[in-house]
Amino acid sequence: MKRVSGTRSRPSPHGEIRPTSGRSAVQSSSSLAAGKILQSTLDGVGTVTFNNPAKHNAMSLDMWVALGEAVNALSADPEVRVIILTGAGGKAFISGADISQFEELRHNAEATAQYALQSAAARKAVDECPKPTIACIDGFCLGGGLLVAMLADIRVASEASRFGIPAAKLGVAYGYHGLERLVALVGPARARLLMFTGMQIDAAEAFKFGLVDQVVGASTLWRHTMQLARTVADNAPLAVAAAKVTVAQVLKDAACRDMEAVKRIEIQCADSDDFREGRRAFMEKRRPVFHGC
């Protein structure tokens, strides 16, 4: 587990990013859900920030809807090569769903099903995002927030982070897709432990469980995540996409795998200008400049 010591600081979605692969730094930003979801891009890195720090970034229904919109917009942006998901305020990634809405929006089975239907689009957008996604986790990562993190390709957490699913303490079922992802990451025994007890675990334990991929000091979390994102953005987009597509198919049952999708993207890579650029850059002992074609 990677650890870096230092004083605590809040990650910023607008930290400095050096230009990658010779591309100029172009920045844009927007807000959704009355400013509770922030969307920004800078030099090929897209960022979605959960910006409800007064409630530890608890997700209201409008925030769920906006999350899907933001991820889909960044996915469609040809300049974006990697997407970071992060929480504002330095206290939480997402502390779960906004329970204050439950009495109105999730008070029985019918209402809960409607709520799930409206929020499912956001989870699908993260799960099926064609670009690499990184969850930058600082503080509480609970319930639905943990599901969002689990849907990301890579999870980086600060030492101060805490993880858990308090469904048993609320009397609500967590849902098949969330448990499917949890079992895939930590195994059935640890999934039962977390679900039956509603316990919270710290970042070190989450790393041991396989719930997060890297743990770093809070003061270096944002810088480390940005460096990771820049590394991904520097690489050939088609080759990165090929890895994402192929891993997704590996995880499926053999009968459900789309091997034609794997073959198509392998052919795209083999015939791409980026493959030629990669070969030439290696022979010329220089840094490649990839364009995603």
**Of the residues 198, 216, 234, which one is the last residue of a structural domain?**
234
pTM for the predicted model, two decimal places:
0.88
For position 245, what pLDDT does the model report? 96
Alpha-carbon distance of 82 to 152, in angstroms, equals 11
Looking at the domain assignment, is residue 89 inside a domain? yes
For position 105, what pLDDT does the model report? 83
For position 22, what pLDDT does the model report? 44
One domain, residues 246 and 123: no
Helices 144-151 and 176-186: crossing angle in degrees, nearest 10, is: 60
One domain, residues 112 and 209: yes
Tally Cβ neighbours within 10 Å of residue 257: 15
Looking at the domain assignment, is residue 93 inside a domain? yes
Q: Which residues sit opposite 38 in a β-bridge?
A: 31, 49
One domain, residues 170 and 224: yes
One domain, residues 148 and 225: yes
Residue 254 is classified by DSSP as: G
One domain, residues 32 and 148: yes
One domain, residues 182 and 241: no
Looking at the domain assignment, is residue 2 inside a domain? no
Closest by alpha carbon to 129, among 74, 65, 184, 59?
74
Question: What CATH number is given to the structural domain containing 221?
Answer: 3.90.226.10
Q: Which residues sit opposite 37 in a β-bridge?
A: 32, 50
Provide the residue range defining the domain that includes 271.
237-283
One domain, residues 37 and 96: yes
Looking at the domain assignment, is residue 8 inside a domain? no
One domain, residues 145 and 197: yes
pLDDT in tens, the chain (293 residues): 444 433 333 334 434 433 334 444 567 888 899 999 999 999 999 999 999 999 999 999 999 999 999 999 999 999 999 999 999 999 999 999 898 888 888 888 888 888 888 889 999 999 999 999 999 999 999 999 999 999 999 999 999 999 999 999 999 899 999 999 999 999 999 999 999 999 999 999 999 999 999 999 999 999 999 999 999 999 999 999 999 999 999 999 999 999 999 999 999 999 999 999 999 999 999 999 999 89
What is the DSSP code string of 152-169?
SSEEEEETT-EEE-THHH
Side chain identity at 50, as an amino acid letter? F
For position 241, what pLDDT does the model report? 96
Q: Which residues sit opposite 41 in a β-bridge?
A: 28, 46
One domain, residues 137 and 248: no
In total, how many domains does the chain have? 2
Looking at the domain assignment, is residue 3 inside a domain? no
Looking at the domain assignment, is residue 16 inside a domain? no
**Of the residues 197, 215, 234, which one is the last residue of a structural domain?**
234
One domain, residues 217 and 242: no
Looking at the domain assignment, is residue 56 inside a domain? yes
Alpha-carbon distance of 44 to 27, in angstroms, equals 9
Alpha-carbon distance of 215 to 156, in angstroms, equals 6
Looking at the domain assignment, is residue 202 inside a domain? yes
One domain, residues 252 and 175: no
Helices 273-283 and 259-270: crossing angle in degrees, nearest 10, is: 50
Residues in the chain, total = 293
Closest by alpha carbon to 94, among 153, 52, 38?
52
For residue 224, give the H/E element and its range: helix 221-234
One domain, residues 138 and 260: no
